[in-house]
Structure 1
Amino acid sequence: MNTITIIGCGWFGFPLATQLVKQGFKVKASKRDPDDLAQLQQAGIEAYQLDLAHIIADAKHSSLFDADAIVINIPPGLRRGDTDYLAYLTQLKNFIGERQYQKVIFISTTGVYPSLDQIVTEQDAAAFNDSSDILLQAEAIFSAMQNSCIVRFSGLVGPKRHPGRFFAGKTDVSGANVAVNLVHLDDCIAAVSLILSRKDTSAIYNLTANEHPTRGEFYVAATEHLGLIAPQFNQQEQPSKIIDGQLICHQLGFEYAFSSPFKMLDAC
């Protein structure tokens, strides 16, 4: 494997791309805004402008998809009310066409798991609401490809995403009992890099830290870490879930650098 394409080179995709360049790979990557291409080029990345809302199937895009492996990292934007996510992914899949890759990695989310007060593994995904249904349809578009691997990220934290800002200063917050499922950016980069290097991978992996403190414990500590006003939780409990992110450890020998959300605070 010599060449890797990354579709969506943003908060996760760009540091992944730079890490792969350091490892000696030729990396191609896309951004929607043409003004962002210079940053990619300066990092040694072959940059392409690609906006799936206005994509034209012409020759200038085709070489982007000529690679040994592809990582697809397009945030669904469902909380913002985006409604064209599946259409964009279908457009992307059509543009990939009949190309065969040594590895296809589609970045998804643990939002596919219902909160049923239990530990959930990769097999427990369910279309329990409209958003989870869309997410599972998105996964299915690429899981049908040969050598595919779906990687489901838990809540992402890291540079410019300090969890202490999530609930800072809020009052009457419910769900203090809810388990926290977070993963640090560095662990996401390391895990995806490992999956790219291995042939013997499962179809799906969760990525989440081993420890799962409650919201009431963690977010008070996180806000205090930043010197912000801690949230005030009420007594109203909410359904919870603990996401099991150990399959990648058992199968591929992966080790989380940040096994606890508390350890992530100094690295955000």
Structure 2
Amino acid sequence: MMKFTQLAGRMSALAAAVLVLSACSSLSKVKSDGTTDEPVWPRWDKVTFHKTRGTFPDAGSLVQVKPGLTKDELYYLLGRPHYGEMWRPREWNYLFHFHTPGQGTNGVTTCQFKVLFDRNMFSNETYWHAVDPENATCPPQLQEPATPVQQQQYHRYTLSADVLFAFDRSSEQDLQPRGREELSELVDKLRNFDQLNSITVIGHTDYLGSDAYNQRLSQQRAETVRRYLTAQGLPADKIRAVGMGESQPVKQCDNHGGRSQLIACLQPNRRVEIQVDGYGSR
């Protein structure tokens, strides 16, 4: 990793080298099929996640980005986008750094990466944009992952939050018997994996309530499930919990009818997804 002073020097060089671009990261005119005729790049110094730093991505994860991924799958591979986004954005933007001895500032090349989504929120086109140096090749010669992609398996298990928890609840004491049973069955499956690399627990809510409340509820539910998996013997250092709030609905409902009908209609959006990186289950 770069020292802070090196990073400060590199950012100063970037300020002189980079053209002033639009500060908004969602201005590209994205077509319904997830393509654009002219990608618009946000300013490098308007990063809202990791604050002007961006990240050093994993090369093995980058080569797995392809059309047809969901936002959850992309989040799993690259993390959250580095620029602030509007609700249900059709593009995600990242600021990535790569160690390139003898090239770039302090041996680091900086690139922006954009992923566009179609109207169904599946990834389609991707774009690279050189930041420092301006004529850099982005991405710079990515290496294939040590484990061939075809041997890696990504499994997703979706559990209804209404099965796991009472409505609007999130603590371990609120886990319902059927929910505990389903989680225990999942633990038995995961114990039989020949290799278990990581587990990501992702909480989702419906849109009832404020954004802040739903974000907190989804994170708390994900944390509760993470603790339960750990208590059942799965490795704590390989499990992380993420709350997505109401940002990724799978069903839209109108507001006609009473509240109980609306709650029932929105049920599929209240869920906990468990993404597993592992292979060779017996």
Using structure 2 for the length normalisation, give the TM-score.
Answer: 0.27
In our comparison, the structure showing a higher alpha carbon Rg is 2
Structure with the largest fraction of helix: 1
Q: Give the TM-score normalised by structure 1.
A: 0.27
